[in-house]
Amino acid sequence: MSIISDSLKRIKPSPTIAVTQKARELRTAGKDVIGLGAGEPDFDTPDNIKNAAIKAIKKGDTKYTAVDGTPALKKAVIRKFKRENKLTYSADQITVGTGGKQVLYNAFMATLNKGDEVIIPAPFWVSYPDMVLLAGGKPKIVKCTEQEGFKITAKKLKKAISKKTKWIILNSPSNPTGAGYTKKEIQDLAKVLIRNKKVFILSDDIYEHVRYDNFNFFTIAQISKLKDRTLTMNGVSKSYAMTGWRIGYAAGPRNIIKAIGKIQSQSTSNPSSISQAAAVEALNGNQSFIKKRSNAFKKRRDFVVKSLNNIKGINCLKPNGAFYVFPSCKSLLNKKTKLKTDTDFVQKLLEKSNVAVVQGSAFGLDGYFRISYATSMKNLKKAMNRIKSFCESFE
């Protein structure tokens, strides 16, 4: 008899973390590996945020806090939603967790029963399906094509909804594609969801502030008829370069927020008190650096997209936000190259050219690969040259 639970047999380790770890190991072994797998800003946490954490330590704010967030952080989150999204919440509609990932996991654990379906548009963030499976639910993957901008349409959503549907996940701008839903696209999806009153919406807005070309961010809870059925998740990791601080938060219906708190009370308990103090400053403090950093990401995006589209066999859409591109390598998967799958492509790219990317199949769509351009232009230039040489070696 195995000591390992049956539930773990339903899931796999995170492919993005695996790629990042592999690149780290190769660099430790002396290889000149350029890692383009991590979804992590290369900028440092701003000084005012770090100083707020230091001040909290010196004040002795090093004890347990309320399980689902300090009053100060909840107030900051409430102000953020009002200021930026025109959404009004009270403290009992807010939860704070150890990263956005925990908030999502808690939500599924708190709401899913065996057989409940969660609609997940693909390409998707790698953890969505596995979290649903761990909670006993059933991921219902809806593939969204490049021609559709990698976004689910109202027609596809309507077709995917069944009597067992409990949630749909919307992630905009998206990981892995950077695709953002326009206000009109969200309104079209909302029309379907308004008619299906038993379906809840999980809006993953973690890349809200990383957007380009005057893309107008709009979150579905702003449609009043759906606010009471929407859990809106966000956090400080991407916008404020605070991945290691591990603070995520969400706003939503009181009964779901209360249930999430119950799960958290019997698992991790409260997030780090110091990280929460830093997050208060992040949300309340000077926000001007966000635009400056987004402009830097935009320059990288433009360079990477142009470079990729100049490589024979590679095609890449220009994303609205986040810091990823999701190029197609389908033209290179043939008998001549001896590459059968996108996994073959990324493995050979790492082996031959020392560039680490993540295969599209990990995100639910074969024939693509994800590049994170959250690294220096120096690294990106070297990586693009290596990818070009690798692809041209098959001619």
Mean per-residue pLDDT pooled into runs of 10, the chain (395 residues): 83 78 83 89 97 98 98 98 98 98 98 97 97 97 98 98 98 98 98 98 98 97 98 98 98 98 97 98 97 97 98 97 98 95 93 94 97 97 98 90
Q: Report the alpha-carbon distance of residue 197 to residue 207 in Å, rounded.
A: 28
> In terms of C-beta density within 10 A (0-12 exposed, 13-18 middle, 19 or more buried), how is residue 141 classed?
middle
Domain borders along the chain are: 6-44+289-392, 63-284
Q: Report the alpha-carbon distance of residue 48 to residue 178 in Å, rounded.
A: 29
**Residue matched to tokens 């290596």:** 386
pLDDT at 15: 77
Q: Report the alpha-carbon distance of residue 232 to residue 219 in Å, rounded.
A: 8
pLDDT at 330: 98
Q: Report the alpha-carbon distance of residue 256 to residue 109 in Å, rounded.
A: 11
Burial pattern 66-86, b for ≥16 Cβ within 10 A else e, equals: ebbbbebbbbbbbebbeebbe
Q: 103 and 95 in contact (C-beta within 8 Å)?
A: yes
| CATH topology match: 6-44+289-392 vs 63-284 | no
Q: Report the alpha-carbon distance of residue 278 to residue 106 in Å, rounded.
A: 23
Q: Which CATH architecture has domain 6-44+289-392?
A: Alpha-Beta Complex (3.90)
pLDDT at 52: 98
**Cβ contacts of residue 79 below 8 Å, gap of 6+?**
283, 284
pLDDT at 55: 98
Q: 96 and 74 in contact (C-beta within 8 Å)?
A: yes
Q: 374 and 41 in contact (C-beta within 8 Å)?
A: yes
pLDDT at 211: 97
Q: Which CATH architecture has domain 63-284?
A: 3-Layer(aba) Sandwich (3.40)
pLDDT at 19: 76
